[in-house]
Structure 1
Amino acid sequence: MFIVIKVASEAPIISVIIPTFHRPDGALAAVRSILGQEGAPSLEIILVDNDANQSCKPIADQLALEAGQTPFTYAVEPAAGVANARNKAVSLARGTFVAFLDDDEVAKPNWLANLVRAQEESGADVVFGPIEARLPAKHNVPHTYFQNFFSRRLDGPTRLIDIPYGCGNCFLRRATVFTKAEPFNPAANETGGEDDILWREVVASGGTFGWAHDAWVYEDVPPSRATWAYLTKRAFAFGHNTTGQWYNRADKDYIRMVISMFKGGAQALALAPLVALLWIVRHERLAWAYDKMWRGLGKVFWFGPFRVGFYGAAAQKKQLAMQKA
């Protein structure tokens, strides 16, 4: 299901994709930051609402008026899941290049122009930009740790890099990266990590990654995420992705899957005593060690009843439960 609100006759150079799930205010801020871009080539905006009830529709109607001559598409992906939402958007994209912005991110005015320049300079198939987290005024976890946890920083100039990052704030060449009808693996709908699986396919096909040192976005962290409970769940789910990606691939690699599980067990066992010690003395490195310990556990217990439903249907059920309460 989708509603095309405004489409230009000529294909744009860049398709900016913003998936959203029950964050109309975040989607509003994200799209407005794209409408305020300076010096960018022709673009279109695709907002995908991963809610069958179309909770973002009123915001989309408002944004359609604000978009002016900028092509704007509001689409609904009723099947819950981060991979489903991204795949829906990709199927609608018409640009030579695709940029992803999350619904909790706000791009600086020169974001797209700097991503384009970085891609031209590096020749990379996928380019990533830095993220600056903006934390809520009150939270009960170490500020420095969570500032770093939600931010993305890499020293040095624009260049080719070896290790990719998450899909939020990335810019890619559509023809070389999206070689399948559904490039994002639906097996990662609830835990995330659909981008990790795709990046491994990019590497396997000889693709390259780049860094745009000045393509900044802000990530607004809600109070519900600046908690120990969220840190635990997210770290555990990240561990799932590290191991599960070897099983979820089309060419399953059971050996690497088992190796990842063993490494995760060793990681958790090694860090558990350190976590206990840092907890007692309330050391500033506690959150870092705690996060790594739970990631190790997530690498081991990544299947069946242990699997954390972080996105998709699990998130939708949680949202419905909260609405009924």
Structure 2
Amino acid sequence: MARALSRAAPRRSLELGRARLPGAATAGDLRGAPTERSSPMRRLAVSVVVCTRNRAPLLERACRSVLDDPGGGVDWELLVVDNASTDETAALLARLATEYPERVRSVEEPVLGLARARNSGIEHCRGEIVAFLDDDAEAEPGWVEAVERLLRSSGADAVGGPVQPILGGELPEWFCGSLLQYITVWDLGDTVRDLTGPEFPRGTNMAFLRECLVEGSGFSEHLGRRGTNLLSCEETELFARLVRSGRRIVYGPQPVVRHRVPAERLRWSFLARRFFAQGVSEAILDWQLDGRAGLEAGWRRQVGYAVGVDTTSQWWSKSRNLLRRFSLVGYAFGAVRTRWILAAAKPGSADGERAMRRRSSEPQPPAGEKTSP
């Protein structure tokens, strides 16, 4: 990613998402104020977007972690995007809308995919700021106010904060260091700082000015969770495009969210699937950002990552080394698949978009594992 971000100017991101997102007609705050930040003292309205699929009990905890917080005087709404749930999600959303009629809204997105659901949230939200919270996460007290304050005071276009784990089991001895990022544990410390890549905010605790999402056409729907797959990088791809277009990304120690990590995600078998999917995701990401040159540079990076590791005798170190090789295999799979599908199309072309939609099947983990939409 460091290589990708240093390359030349961006293409219009219209070519990467589902379609051009709606214009500024609905981008004002919840009371209809203009979208421009005319004064650093003026509070910005916030739309909290939670995308969900078949996680009603966890969704309720996520929603109430926000609804139980007064918001510190910030004008805000909660928008839940139901991504084809078949459990009790609809009943829960109806109940929350009755309890909080001026605060809670929901929309249905029948097409499966986390990126698709997030784009639907962008289309339907009303706030000047769009803040994303996962359905298996809980916001710390003061989260909405902290999101608004960081974006407004920093003058950034997008921000993110720490993600702390709520572990569903004991963390194995070998599960440490860089492996923690694969269960979405993320913390860059107590100092506000600019992010230009390759490190970017995590999807469960990120917020944007809505106008930059509209201009950038939102998230690429070729990436991210869909059904039971473990693909990712849709937020990384968006942040990379924003940086290339001159937008500013900022990390702050506040806001903070806590993310649930079930016991099965602390097992080596899950990490093997996760590393493979990460490799596939990075191949698609490199193609979308830089085409053939991106894939070639990405392959060299992956090979170096897989072979340039420590060779100590500890068994957990050897396990991490093997996981890196799963990522390399995944990257090779993703590169071959992407180049095969788009062999006759340039990155971002209409032919390429149609081909990617026709060939949307992704490698699947064993049946029964629930993931984000």
Indicate the TM-score class for this superposition, using the shorter chain for normalisation: 0.7 to 0.9
Q: Name the counterpart of 1:35.
A: 67
Measure, in 2, the Cα distance between the counterparts of 1:247 and 1:241: 10
- Residue 91 (str. 1) matches residue 129 (str. 2): no
Residues 1:246 and 1:91: Cα distance change in structure 2 (over 3 Å): same
Q: Name the counterpart of 1:204.
A: 244
Q: Name the counterpart of 2:109.
A: 77
Mapping for residues 1-325 of structure 1, pairs under 5 Å? 10-11=31-32, 13-37=45-69, 38-51=71-84, 53=86, 55-70=88-103, 72-138=104-170, 142=174, 144=176, 149=182, 150-163=184-197, 164-180=200-216, 182-189=217-224, 190=226, 191-249=231-289, 252-271=290-309, 274=311, 278=313, 281-283=314-316, 285=317, 288-303=320-335
Q: Which amino acid aligns with 1:69?
A: E
Aligned residues: 301
Q: CA deviation at 1:242?
A: 2.1
Measure, in 1, the Cα distance between the counterparts of 2:135 and 2:123: 19
Measure, in 1, the Cα distance between the counterparts of 2:99 and 2:110: 25
Match of 1:154, SS? coil
**Larger deviation: 94-103 or 58-67?**
58-67
Q: Name the counterpart of 2:5.
A: none
User: Scaled by the length of structure 2, what TM-score is found?
Assistant: 0.71
Q: For the Cα contact (< 8 Å) 2:223–2:233, is it kept in 1?
A: yes
Measure, in 1, the Cα distance between the counterparts of 2:175 and 2:239: 31
Residues 1:24 and 1:10: Cα distance change in structure 2 (over 3 Å): same
Measure, in 2, the Cα distance between the counterparts of 1:286 and 1:217: 32
Residues 1:147 and 1:303: Cα distance change in structure 2 (over 3 Å): closer
- How much is the aligned-residue C-alpha RMSD, in angstroms? 3.1
Q: Deviations over 1:59-87 (max 9, x none)?
A: 212222332532x1222211111111111
Q: CA deviation at 1:290?
A: 4.3
Q: CA deviation at 1:101?
A: 0.4
Higher relative contact order by CA 8 Å / sep ≥ 6: 1 or 2?
2
Residues 1:151 and 1:247: Cα distance change in structure 2 (over 3 Å): same
Q: What is the aligned-residue identity percentage?
A: 23
Measure, in 2, the Cα distance between the counterparts of 1:320 and 1:289: 28
Q: Name the counterpart of 2:349.
A: none
Q: For the Cα contact (< 8 Å) 1:18–1:101, is it kept in 2?
A: yes
Q: CA deviation at 1:27?
A: 1.1
Q: Name the counterpart of 2:356.
A: none
Q: CA deviation at 1:16?
A: 0.5
**Larger deviation: 153-162 or 74-83?**
153-162
Residues 1:86 and 1:261: Cα distance change in structure 2 (over 3 Å): same
Match of 2:254, SS? coil
Measure, in 1, the Cα distance between the counterparts of 2:30 and 2:163: 34
Measure, in 2, the Cα distance between the counterparts of 1:196 and 1:33: 26
User: Scaled by the length of structure 1, what TM-score is found?
Assistant: 0.81
Residues 1:248 and 1:84: Cα distance change in structure 2 (over 3 Å): same
Long gaps (5+) in structure 2: 1-28, 33-43, 339-359
